[in-house]
Amino acid sequence: MKLIRSLILCNIFPIMVACNTVNSVVPVPNGRPGSPGFQQVVTNGWLNYKANVTDVHEDIVNGDQKRVQVSVFSNQSSAQSFSYRFEWLTTGGMHVDSIGDSWQTQRIMPQETIILNSIAPNSTASTWRLQLSDTNLPLSQ
Amino acid sequence: MLQVNKLFMSLVGVSILCACGTPARKINSGGTELITTVGQVDIQDFNEAATKLVQSMTTSGVFAEYSSKNKAVLGISRIINDTTDQFDTDLLVKKIRIALLNSGKVEVSTTVGLGGKAEDPMAKSAKEMEEFKNGKGTEMPAMPKFTLTCKILEVRASAGNTKQSSFVFQMSLTDITTGNSKWEGEQSVTKQGSKPAIGF
């Protein structure tokens, strides 16, 4: 019986990992007054509990480069990890290469709000997309 | 009972397949499936350090007065790897150079280098020939406006079987007109564990 249970666990685990889909956040320009100014596309509900975007701010640095700052909240009761990356796009929707394209890991404590930020690689990058992914180490969390 | 046996056999079959060694495959160098080690700087650590250092440099506004028509020239000065891990420091510095070049406000000199050694000797010779041809051979060569220095340090600790390594990336940007640093940044990457793992 123990063997069967462990075999079932072994086979359910890869299925759980395979469900690790990405959540996205994009800015909503000229949103209605009182609207958050961003839109979250949630495909992974569990990830959204531990990495929920609560607000977004933008400004200009270095003369003409856009900077974005995103607040992320975890409502979990234990420390969690997730990965994220920012992608930058031109007004025409073309991707602009950036070293921030790589996924980065982030630890978040229970009920903590952390700040993620990114700067446009150059002045042609005018809009952005934040992608959030669960880490591959669920057993270590 | 027959159904239980069938389920059992299928689970055994899948488990045997899963237990075989991992076949070679390509993964994304900037992805989430990279191997994380404790005692050495991994490719994702260079990515993280470079990203945050460039963000810090950009936020400081040090290149705000420059544009695509008036670019700041940057020279790469001393880069020191003071860790026990042997790696090519270009794994960090090249990423920073690319990001600064892509900003459209900075050019990196490949003909002026530390100790008079050009990164690109052929470009240096060609430039000298060009200057000689144009009668500018005796003039002072154009020097970078800024120089970049970097030092990478390591701090180790352990408790029982758990090991911890911190890699500290320190960087300075000096304005050669004044000889004073215009920007300094530090970024740490700390990793803890007893063995390498796949994923962050």
Architecture, CATH, for domain A22-140 = Sandwich (2.60)
Q: Tell me, what amino acid is at B184? A: E
Residues of chain B neighbouring A61 (CB-CB closer than 8 A)? 58-59, 61, 64
pLDDT for B114 equals: 85
**Residue B119 falls within a domain, yes or no?**
no
Other C-beta atoms within 10 Å of B38: how many? 19
The Cα B197–Cα B92 span in angstroms is 22
CATH number at residue B96: 3.40.50
- Smallest Cα–Cα separation from A75: which of A53, A107, A49? A49
Contact B64 A103 (CB under 8 A): no
Closest residue to A103, CB basis, from B30, B61, B63:
B30
List of E strands, chain B = 35-36, 72-81, 106-108, 146-159, 162-175, 180-193, 197-198
Q: Can you count the helices (H) and strands (E) in chain B?
A: 4, 7
Judge whether A141 is closer than 8 Å to chain B, CB to CB.
no
Contact A119 B31 (CB under 8 A): no
Contact B103 A135 (CB under 8 A): no
Judge whether A10 is closer than 8 Å to chain B, CB to CB.
yes
pTM check: above 0.80: yes
Judge whether A15 is closer than 8 Å to chain B, CB to CB.
no
Residue B15 phi/psi, 5-degree rounding, is: -65, -40
Domain housing B194: 34-109+144-198
Residue A140 pLDDT exceeds 70: no
Q: Which residue has tokens 């070293």? A: A99
| Residue A140 DSSP label | G
**Residue B84 falls within a domain, yes or no?**
yes
**Residue B114 falls within a domain, yes or no?**
no
Other C-beta atoms within 10 Å of A13: how many? 13
The Cα B98–Cα A97 span in angstroms is 10
Split at pLDDT 50, 70, 90, the class of A141 is: very low
Contact A101 B30 (CB under 8 A): yes
pLDDT for A6 equals: 55
Contact A119 B54 (CB under 8 A): yes
Judge whether A126 is closer than 8 Å to chain B, CB to CB.
no
Instruction: Provide the residue-wise pLDDT of chain B in tens; the chain has 200 residues.
Output: 556 666 666 666 655 555 567 788 888 888 888 899 999 999 999 999 999 999 999 999 999 999 989 999 999 999 999 999 999 999 999 999 999 999 999 999 998 888 888 888 888 888 888 888 887 766 666 689 999 999 999 999 999 999 999 999 999 999 999 999 999 999 999 999 988 887 76
Closest residue to B18, CB basis, from A10, A104, A105:
A10
A109's tokens: 């404590």
ipTM for the predicted complex comes to 0.78
What pairing do the DSSP bridges indicate for beta strands A23-27 and A127-134?
A: antiparallel
Residue A5 pLDDT exceeds 70: no
The Cα A76–Cα A107 span in angstroms is 12
Q: How far is A99 from chain B (nearest CA, A)?
A: 6
Q: Where does residue B60 rank: exposed (0-12), middle (13-18), buried (19+ CB within 10 A)?
A: middle
| Residue B65 DSSP label | T
B30's tokens: 């900037």
What pairing do the DSSP bridges indicate for beta strands A23-27 and B197-198?
A: unpaired
Domain boundaries, chain A: 22-140
Instruction: Tell me which H or E stretch contains A104.
Output: strand A104-108
Taking CA–CA distances from B48, the nearest residue in chain A reads A104
Domain count, chain B: 1
> Each residue of A116-135: pLDDT tens digit?
999 999 999 999 999 999 98
- Contact between residue A95 and residue A131 where contact means Cβ atoms under 8 Å apart: no
Q: How many CB pairs under 8 A join A and B?
A: 100
> Each residue of A28-80: pLDDT tens digit?
877 666 667 899 999 999 999 999 999 999 999 998 999 999 999 999 999 99
**Residue B100 falls within a domain, yes or no?**
yes
**Residue B98 falls within a domain, yes or no?**
yes
pLDDT for B96 equals: 95
Judge whether A93 is closer than 8 Å to chain B, CB to CB.
no
Best interface-test mutation with B: which of A5, A62, A115, A132 has the largest number of B CBs within 10 A?
A: A62
Task: Measure CA A53 to chain center.
Answer: 8
